[in-house]
Amino acid sequence: MRPLRLARFTAGGLLALSGGAAVAASWYDGAHRERLLPGVVVGRVEAGGHRAADVVRTLDHRLPAVAATPVRIVAGSEEARVTLAELGLRSNAAEIVARARADADEMGLARRVWHRLLAKPVDLRYDVRLAVERSAVEREVARLAEVVAVAPVDARIDTSSGMVSILAPEPGRALDTATAVEQVHDLAVRVANGDGPAGPAEVRPPVTALEPAVTGFADVILVRTAENKLYHYENGALARTYRVATGTARYPTPKGTFSVVLKRRNPTWVNPDPGGWGRSLPARIGPGPGNPLGTRAMNLDSPGIRIHGTSNVASLGTAASHGCIRMALADVEELFEKVEQGTPVTIIQGPPPPPEPAPANPAVPQTPVTAIGDPDAPVDLEAG
């Protein structure tokens, strides 16, 4: 055989052998792909040569051992006990083993086969950690937050006795859920991985005090229509009592709790019922002696109802208005300066006026006194 033909034959044989080796190496690598490379350590487990699925099962076998571990959450006087299982305990073993396989793929075929055929260990170590589900932690914290939560109670005006008493405000409380979630999640992860405290696993998230929006009342106005009196309270104590006129049976003063929404000096009277009882009256009357609202008016958040002055002092102490609360001019001017817009006004029926005392000497006939109104007083035009 000529040398040239011999060289060609030899080269072809070597190529054939090389190609066959590559095919064999590829087949060998594929057949062992499910097994981790020699020397791989996953979570302190010698995983080299073992199937990936078997390694994951081995690592996850420790979950039941710690799943029942309790975590105690103390929030003020309330507490909850939850286990790591209830917090969604899980392992990242599957992700770590998948990473080990991906790292082996990046080595290339020749290196993988070399490590496998010659049992040459690789220096690859992976840490496996246990974790809990944040959504599960949030759910358990939310349950405790509902138990902890107490809404604050504002100071209140109580008229059950017929007079005013101020019920003290009461603070509320709320669990700081954002802090609680972080604390519980951090502790649960540390306990699951053996890094927790030596004693019971416990967290004490902060409980926030909730202050009431209303802590007191600088002024309160009480109107008792049955006796036609207005009581002014300052800081919960009765400061002054005034005689007033309230609504007639046909136009009663509304009962309930209202507030002063507008204060007016020298107000303009606007006909509140031009199609009804005010049809014969002017549309408006400006400030001055003939104004039926007097010199001061305080509108309430009840349509058409005001506390205002009147020069018709003979009507005070009676049910004479179209629903408003009338006061003597000097009295309404005094009250006007003391109370602010927003002052609560409570209107109740109240007890009936006490009976007139018996005459001192029944034998002497008592001459009734008839109240005579001011002849110069304006016509009763007002809405109240």
Residue range 137-194, pLDDT digits in tens = 999 999 999 999 999 999 999 999 999 999 999 999 999 999 999 999 999 999 988 8
Mean per-residue pLDDT for 279-298? 88
CA dihedral (355, 384, 313, 316) in degrees, to 10, reads 10
Residues 232-279: pLDDT tens digits?
999 999 999 999 999 999 999 999 999 999 999 999 988 888 888 778
- H helices of 46-167, in order, are 52-60, 63-67, 93-107, 109-117, 134-148
Catalytic residue among 115, 232, 308, 322: 308
**pLDDT at residue 172, as a whole number:** 97
pLDDT band at 290 (very low <50, low <70, confident <90, very high): confident
Is the pLDDT at 376 greater than 50, yes or no?
no
For residues 230 and 321, what is the distance between their CA atoms, to the nearest angstrom? 15
Q: Which residue ranges form the domains of the chain, and what is each CATH number?
A: 219-348 (2.40.440.10)
Our answer to whether residue 308 is catalytic in this structure is yes
For residues 281 and 378, what is the distance between their CA atoms, to the nearest angstrom? 12
Catalytic residue among 115, 185, 322, 324: 324
Residues 43-70: pLDDT tens digits?
778 888 888 888 888 877 777 888 999 9
Least confident of 65-74, 90-99, 222-231: 90-99
**pLDDT at residue 289, as a whole number:** 81
Question: Is the overall model pTM greater than 0.85, yes or no?
Answer: no
pLDDT band at 132 (very low <50, low <70, confident <90, very high): very high
Residue that wins the pLDDT comparison between 309 and 34: 309
pLDDT band at 382 (very low <50, low <70, confident <90, very high): low
**pLDDT at residue 352, as a whole number:** 66
Which tokens is 44 given?
């302190």
Answer for the pair 326, 313: CB distance below 8 angstroms, yes or no: no
**pLDDT at residue 217, as a whole number:** 96
Our answer to whether residue 232 is catalytic in this structure is no
**pLDDT at residue 373, as a whole number:** 31
Least confident of 136-140, 208-212, 304-308, 356-360: 356-360
**pLDDT at residue 335, as a whole number:** 98
Residue that wins the pLDDT comparison between 372 and 179: 179
Residue 325: burial class (beta carbons within 10 Å; 0-12, 13-18, 19+): buried
Is the pLDDT at 371 greater than 50, yes or no?
no
**pLDDT at residue 200, as a whole number:** 84
Least confident of 39-48, 68-77, 164-173, 331-340: 39-48
